[in-house]
């Protein structure tokens, strides 16, 4: 069963908990928390204090934290303390410190994911697959919501699904960026276990109906 992760980057920050609750009531499975440092990506979003507040308001939710930051080892413990369940970092941010970063996130008590940008080949994460809970395939350049889906992500999902079966690994496949009614079925067919959706749900005329359509896939 495909899970839906609502990316709160597109939520109403002035009414964040209520905005998230509305989507959780309609079948959203987890909240995707896009952390941007204005250095690894050309945008700044929010930090651990916002996660702490949201976690206090919605303690039962699974928090899927996507670190688009240059120093994930330094900040992962703050997000773990604030309530993260799973922390995903970008391979491109720490190409020479991947095992150490995985270890630091595990030591902080969280599940671990690696994310790859559209320009990074699927094979780049193969050396780490046996140590991961999740691989996040970006279908847009990280940094902004509301971008157009890049179909090259579909081939990567297929490669990673095949590689997972070949080595009987357990990591989940998540796809992120431009996922909507048209692209979501393609992602599910290509092997995505979790669909991240931001503007397609929070920005929909009827967010509840938008979540229900994705959740029904
Ligand atoms: C982009 C973020 C995505 C984005 C998804 O850097 O990682 O999670 O917020 O937003 P949509 O679904 O609008 O593309
Ligand atoms: Zn994201």
* Nearest ligand (C-alpha, residue 195): 1
**What are 14-73's pLDDT values in tens digits?**
999 999 999 999 999 999 999 999 999 999 999 999 999 999 999 999 999 999 999 999
Task: Report residue 174 as tokens.
Answer: 């998540």
Q: Ligand 1 site: residues with CB under 6 angstroms?
A: 7, 9-10, 32, 34, 66, 68, 140, 142-147, 176-179, 196-200
Which residue from 140, 150, 174 has its CB within 8 A of the most atoms of ligand 1, so it is best to mutate?
Answer: 140
Dihedral angle at the C-alpha atoms of 189, 193, 197, 200, nearest 10 degrees?
30
Return the structure tokens found at 85: 């369940």
Active site residue 176: yes
- Of 200, 212, 211, 196, the residue nearest 66 (C-alpha): 196
pLDDT digits (tens, 9 = 90+) for 181-200: 999 999 999 999 999 999 99
Q: In ligand 1, which atom is closest to the CA atom of 197?
A: 12
pTM exceeds 0.85 for this model: yes
Beta partners for residue 3, in sequence order: 194
**R_g of the chain computed on alpha carbons:** 16
């Amino acid at each position: 069963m495909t899970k839906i992760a609502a990316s709160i980057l597109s939520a109403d920050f002035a009414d964040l908990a209520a905005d998230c609750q509305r989507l959780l009531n309609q079948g959203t499975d987890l909240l995707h928390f896009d952390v941007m440092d204005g250095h690894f990506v050309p945008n700044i979003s929010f930090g651990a204090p916002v996660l702490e507040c949201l976690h206090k308001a919605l303690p039962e939710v699974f928090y899927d934290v996507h670190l688009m930051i240059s120093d994930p080892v330094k900040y992962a413990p703050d997000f773990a303390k604030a309530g993260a369940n799973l922390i995903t970092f970008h391979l491109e941010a720490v190409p020479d410190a991947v095992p150490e970063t995985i270890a630091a996130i595990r030591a902080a008590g969280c599940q671990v994911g690696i994310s790859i940008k559209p320009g990074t080949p699927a094979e780049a994460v193969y050396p780490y697959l046996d140590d991961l809970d999740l691989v996040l395939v970006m279908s847009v350049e990280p940094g902004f919501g509301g971008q157009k889906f890049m179909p090259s992500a579909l081939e990567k999902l297929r490669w990673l699904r095949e590689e997972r079966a070949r080595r009987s690994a357990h990591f989940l496949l998540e796809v992120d960026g431009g996922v909507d009614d048209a692209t979501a079925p393609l992602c599910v067919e290509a092997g995505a276990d979790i669909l991240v959706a931001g503007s397609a749900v929070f920005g929909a005329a009827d967010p509840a109906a938008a979540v229900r359509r994705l959740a029904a896939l």
